[in-house]
Amino acid sequence: MSDFPFVVDIQDTEHFKLQVMEASKQQPVLVDFWADWCQPCKTLIPMLVKLAEEYKGAFILAKVNADEQQELVAAAGVRNLPTVKLFKDGAIVDEFMGAKTESEIRQFLDAHIDNESQNVIEQALELSESGAHEQALEALKQLNQDDPSNTDVYLATARIYLQSGDLDNCEAVLKALPANIQISDEARKIQDELDFARATKDAPDVSEIVAQLETEPENHELRVQLANQYTVSHQYEKALQELLYILRKDMNFQEGKAKEAMLKIFEILGNQEPIVRKYRTKLATLLY
């Protein structure tokens, strides 16, 4: 029997029916199929247990030892370990295989499970977007006291500092993150946005740069500044157009400064965005 109130070790088929199939009609049940010999399982299980406790009963974690419960493994169609399946109302609604980061598991859970902490974070971000930065930060400060293990609070705090223009505090929060969170997609995205914000802090405004470029169209440094300004104002395609112009003229301008900026924009937007696919293709044509 588990030492944790929201974690259960499945003993047999009947136990599975009771603790997973029936229990999932009341609340989601996350089933982790694992084995002692599976190294990724040993990394994954502590994260799942931690999240089960953090979500305070929003879901139940059911652990199935694949070596001991081969009948259940076969019935569930499990072919690789670790495999994690989410049950709701007696049926599988989603699953993943292999090791995941804590941030990825949170995203998986939050797509199906109502998480009060996540609701607070989303509300704080909405407040910040409306300009109520101090109120948003106060909400996250309280959440951090109530749910100190939730690293998403720190990422949201960094983003709100960025939105408010407090770049130093944004950077301080990012640097204080655990190493595994610092390399997460969201942390890297915020860092890239912070880099662009710093680059535009004392730069001329867009109209001034555009006017100067009319007389100095080959001034690539000015064009980088314009791309930075477009990026900060979320005019990403305009930014990419300016950077592509530079790369067509000088691929190695300032040791690849334009290419580096383009790659950062790709990271901010994510690989699934059509604009990213479009300009990755354009960049690849130049490179190869």
Hey, how many other C-beta atoms are within 10 angstroms of the C-beta on 269? 17
Amino acid (1-letter code) at residue 95: E
Whether residue 38 lies in the annotated active site: yes
Contact 10, 63 (CB under 8 A): yes
Out of 29, 30, 31, 41, the active site residue is: 41
Q: Enumerate residues 6+ apart whose C-beta is below 8 A from 147.
A: 54, 117, 153
For residue 92, list its beta bridge partners: 87
Q: What is the DSSP string of 70-112?
A: HHHHHHTT--SSSEEEEEETTEEEEEEES---HHHHHHHHHTT
Nearest to 263 by CA among 223, 233, 227, 217: 227
CA 66 – CA 55 distance, rounded (Å)? 25
CB neighbours of residue 163 within 10 Å: 17
* Alpha helix stretches (DSSP H) within 17-166: 39-54, 70-75, 102-110, 116-129, 133-146, 152-164
- Say which of 38, 49, 51, 137 is annotated catalytic: 38
Catalytic-residue membership of 170: no
Give catalytic residue positions. 38, 41
